[in-house]
Amino acid sequence: MEQVKTPWYSSYDGVRQHLEYPENSIFEFLEEASKKRESLNAYNYFGKTATFKEFLEQIDSAARAFIAMGVKPKDIISVCMPNTPEALISFYAINKIGAVANMIHPLSAENEIKYYVNLTESKIIVTVDLALNKIIHVLPETKLEKIIQVSVADSMPVPVSVGYFVKKGRKLHFEKCDINIKWSDFIKNGKQYTGETLYKPDKDDTAAILYSGGTSGFPKGIELTNLNFNALALQSVEICKTLHEGDRILSIMPVFHGFGLGICIHTALYLGATAVIQPQFNAAEFDKLLTKYKPNIIAGVPSLFEVMLKNKRMEGVDLSFLHLVISGGDSLSESLKLKVDDFLEEHGSDAKVREGYGLTECVTGSCLIPVNKYKAGSIGIPYPDTYYKVINPETLEEMPYGEDGEIVLSGPTVMKGYLNEPEETADTLRLHKDGKVWLHTGDLGYMDEDGFLFFKQRIKRMIISSGYNIYPQYLENIIDSVPEVLLSCVIGIDHPLKVQVAKAFIVLREGYEPTDEIRQKIREVCEKNLAKYSWPFEYEFRKELPKTLVGKVAFTQLIEEEKAKNANKEKET
């Protein structure tokens, strides 16, 4: 059997090559770690805090409430929440009782929510009230029996919650529904149950379902296990090297995202750090977040750091408290990295941006720039017990160092599979002749002789906008549903803040000409059926679209045309 090459070990510099992994659940892993620091704060929400001891008590109360509501081990409960204490409490409580958390983006369109709920056959959903009406609209087409309604103001300190109500809360109007219950009543009802709440699952049992595109471009439910999350926490702390108990981490990456849930919450809490959580990131107030909470760790997408650079109120702000800055979720340009590094140094921080690479199919990052070694353009080296190689996607043979191929990886954070998608799973998780199961990323890149990885581009057509995944084929199906549309093609185009946004090229059926009315109709269909972050930024009508020799739309040609157009604009300016 072939031996996997590991040239990156020479760059570990004190990082252990192999770790011991627990057999227990996500909750048990957290509970065990929390016993060592019960008096430290687990989270900070607009100044309202909970110690680890209090957090465990809150989790237990919610666990009792779920059991009192009839939840059994292996049941799938949907969680449609932004970053609030209730979202964190729900996630760990669901895991404590042996159920599965189905994490849904609260800005998802009605049909998307229906799809996610029906895919998992969820009977219960915990939702932020801002998404309540959308859920009510699709209720008859689902198996939902209970809606647990949460306001982002529920856990805010009183002065902050009053301000929220005056600015936003009083404008909210909820449609009538006879199966919804407010969070406070849900917790109160849990007092009826006085039995045991802890269920001991297998480490390989599914703990959470997150969403990504898979190889076909449609959203897939990614089954992630207890081991996946716990291994990620152990590996991340080991390879980062600059993390400390009692640190504060700015947890603004969302909990329905692998980066947010896996790193900014679970890894942070295992470490004994305080997660500073915010339900919505306000770019204009980034300076206030930094100066108020003084986080030691920031983990975010590249657009977050662009916001930091552009904020004029950051001038003169002391950032000496920052000692770890991680960029992930999208490619970080070399020029932006250097600008951020200079910015941090000018503001008193000794941190340098460390870029990571990963995907939801392995929770999140599994590769990171080491603490004392940097190579321009690299996405880093693999985590402990995680193996990377670059292969010829046709033959599965490993490529020589420096030559492009498909990036594949293997390790304890790799997903269990795609929910109800055996063919898609088999295509993505493949057993190679070295005896390991490898996750085929669909990404193109190369590895150098020192084991540093370099990402080139996505083989799959996925667009990443501010860290969120957008699937062109999914958007095209929505646009093509408009009666006047013959066909469409969606590509990613550059955006100064979001890195990329979607652009739709549209060919109308014979007899129709482009009009403002048709454009508006298409836009309304997109806005009704797609999450806001994935709405096309531009719509362009064409008589025809370029085709390949086999008759498929040549989306790569459209991408090249857009690049050429932008290059000409830059010359003119």
Domain boundary, last residue among 202, 228, 263: 202
Mean pLDDT, residues 1-23 taken together: 92
Domain boundary, last residue among 202, 233, 255: 202
Which residue type, as a one-letter code, is found at position 547?
A: K
Q: Look at residue 529 and tell me if it is in a domain.
A: yes
Residue 282 — very low, low, confident or very high, per pLDDT cuts 50/70/90?
A: confident
pLDDT value at residue 474:
85
Q: Give the integer Cα–Cα distance in Å for 124 and 70.
A: 10
- Cα 277–Cα 280–Cα 281 angle in degrees, nearest 5: 90
**Average per-residue pLDDT for the chain:** 92
The CATH number for 489's domain is 3.30.300.30
Q: Look at residue 55 and tell me if it is in a domain.
A: yes
Domain boundary, last residue among 202, 235, 265: 202
Q: Look at residue 441 and tell me if it is in a domain.
A: no
Mark 500-522 as b/e (b = at least 16 C-beta within 10 Å): bbbbbbbbbeeeeeeeeebeeeb
Higher pLDDT, 21 or 212: 21
Question: How many structural domains comprise the chain?
Answer: 2
pLDDT tens-digit profile of 92-127? Answer: 999 999 999 999 999 999 999 999 999 999 999 999
For residue 209, pLDDT beyond 70: yes
pLDDT value at residue 168:
74
pLDDT value at residue 335:
80
Q: Look at residue 495 and tell me if it is in a domain.
A: yes
pLDDT value at residue 214:
45
Q: Look at residue 177 and tell me if it is in a domain.
A: yes
Mean pLDDT, residues 433-446 taken together: 94
Mean pLDDT, residues 424-448 taken together: 94
Residue 469 — very low, low, confident or very high, per pLDDT cuts 50/70/90?
A: confident
Q: Which of 235, 238, 356 is nearest to 298 (CA)?
A: 356
Q: Look at residue 564 and tell me if it is in a domain.
A: yes
Q: Look at residue 133 and tell me if it is in a domain.
A: yes
pLDDT tens-digit profile of 31-87? Answer: 999 999 999 999 999 999 999 999 999 999 999 999 999 999 999 999 999 999 999
Q: Look at residue 557 and tell me if it is in a domain.
A: yes
pLDDT tens-digit profile of 487-509? Answer: 899 999 999 888 899 999 999 98
Q: Give the integer Cα–Cα distance in Å for 389 and 398.
A: 7
pLDDT tens-digit profile of 256-278? Answer: 999 999 999 999 999 999 999 99
12, 454 contact by CB (below 8 A): no
For residue 566, pLDDT beyond 70: yes
pLDDT value at residue 336:
85
Which residue type, as a one-letter code, is found at position 63?
A: A
Q: Give the integer Cα–Cα distance in Å for 355 and 494.
A: 20
pLDDT value at residue 549:
60
Q: Which of 327-341, 407-421, 456-470 has the highest mean pLDDT?
A: 407-421
Mean pLDDT, residues 198-204 taken together: 94
pLDDT tens-digit profile of 219-233? Answer: 899 999 999 999 999
Q: How far is CA 216 from CA 415, 428, 476, 553, in A?
A: 17, 11, 13, 16
pLDDT value at residue 550:
58
Mean pLDDT, residues 460-468 taken together: 84
The CATH number for 172's domain is 3.40.50.980
Q: Give the integer Cα–Cα distance in Å for 262 and 29.
A: 13
Mean pLDDT, residues 453-465 taken together: 84
> Where in the sequence is the domain holding 115, given as residue range(s)?
50-202
pTM: 0.88
pLDDT tens-digit profile of 542-564? Answer: 999 998 765 678 888 999 999 88
